[in-house]
Structure formats: C-alpha cells, structure tokens
Amino acid sequence: MIRGKIIFWITAIAIVSSLISGCVSTPPATPTATPTPVVTPVMTPTSTPAPTPATSAAIPSATSSAPPSITITSYPSGVNGEDNFTIQWEVTGGTTGNISQTGVQWGFSSNYTRNSTVLNGESPQNFSVVLKAPAGGGPVYFRIYATVDGVDIYSPGYQIAIIPRYTGGGY
C-alpha cells in the first residue's frame, strides 16, 4: 500500500514538473528583418522643377525634336480596397515641349471610363496622381494620356489587382 502511494506521488511530481518546465521557455529571438512602414500618400501632383541657369544665356524650354512619349515609372501591382495608391509617369519629347494636359484614364475594364486630375507642364516632366481603390475588389485598368505640342499620346494599358475590403458573411 505504501509502495503504491510512493509511486503515485513520484508520478504526480514528475507530471507537474514536466508541465512547469514546459511553461518556462527562452524568449524568442530578435527578428532579423524590420517591417517596412506604409506611407499613405497625399493627393498632390508633383513635378521636378527645371534648374535655374548659372549664366545669363537663354536656355530653350524644348527638349528636342524627339517625338513625345510617356514612360510609367511607378505603380503598385496590387492594393487593398479603399486604400490610396500612387501612379507616377514621365512625359518627354516634343518640339516645344508644351504639355497642355496629362493624367490617368482608368476604369473596371479597358474602356477607361474615369479620369484623374488633369495636370500640365513642360517636357521633360515627372507627374504623379493618387487614386483611391474601390472597396469591392477586382482589377482596375489604367493608361496615361498626354497632349504634347497639340499631339495626343497614350501609354499602353496596365492593370492593378484590388483586394476586396469586405468579404463573406452576407446573404
């Protein structure tokens, strides 16, 4: 009888000890990577101003007689619904380089039924527009347009995946 009680208590102490030792652990290792902060852009078109010449010699405003062109420099491949996102591009070329209008044409198909804020300036110039992703998700299609020296030009079409803000749970 005593032998049974001793075995019982030794077993109980062993189980309690293993439970307690399982609760005590070393602290987790310090992460090797730091998270990248997310910056919410503000809707302000930006451009790079031309440098002020150091001499009094006149510098022509035209870039060259190269044909006008659009280069998209930045856009996200995917965005969460209702988040702001930025599209950036550069317009170059033209004889006099007068950019009378440029902006983003976008929509839920390649019909581009919506337009961003219209911007203008002198070639070469960088532009950016901040748009708000729709809550429902799905792709957003866009292209850049510009009128340089009276000539309308368009970029190829691009697509951004929108992750739905609200999912499931409804009837």
The pair of structure tokens assigned to 84 is: 């702001």
Model confidence at 137, in pLDDT bands (50, 70, 90)? confident
Give the pTM: 0.61
Q: Is 43 within a domain?
A: no
Q: Name the residue range of residue 143's domain.
A: 69-163
Q: Is 136 within a domain?
A: yes
Look-up of token digits 């532009």 = 127
Looking at the 3D structure of the chain, how many domains does it have?
1
DSSP-assigned beta bridge partners for residue 86: 130
- For the stretch 91-117, pLDDT in tens is 999 999 999 999 999 999 999 999 999
Q: Is 54 within a domain?
A: no
Which among 79, 93, 98, 46 has a CA at the least distance from the CA of 158?
Answer: 79
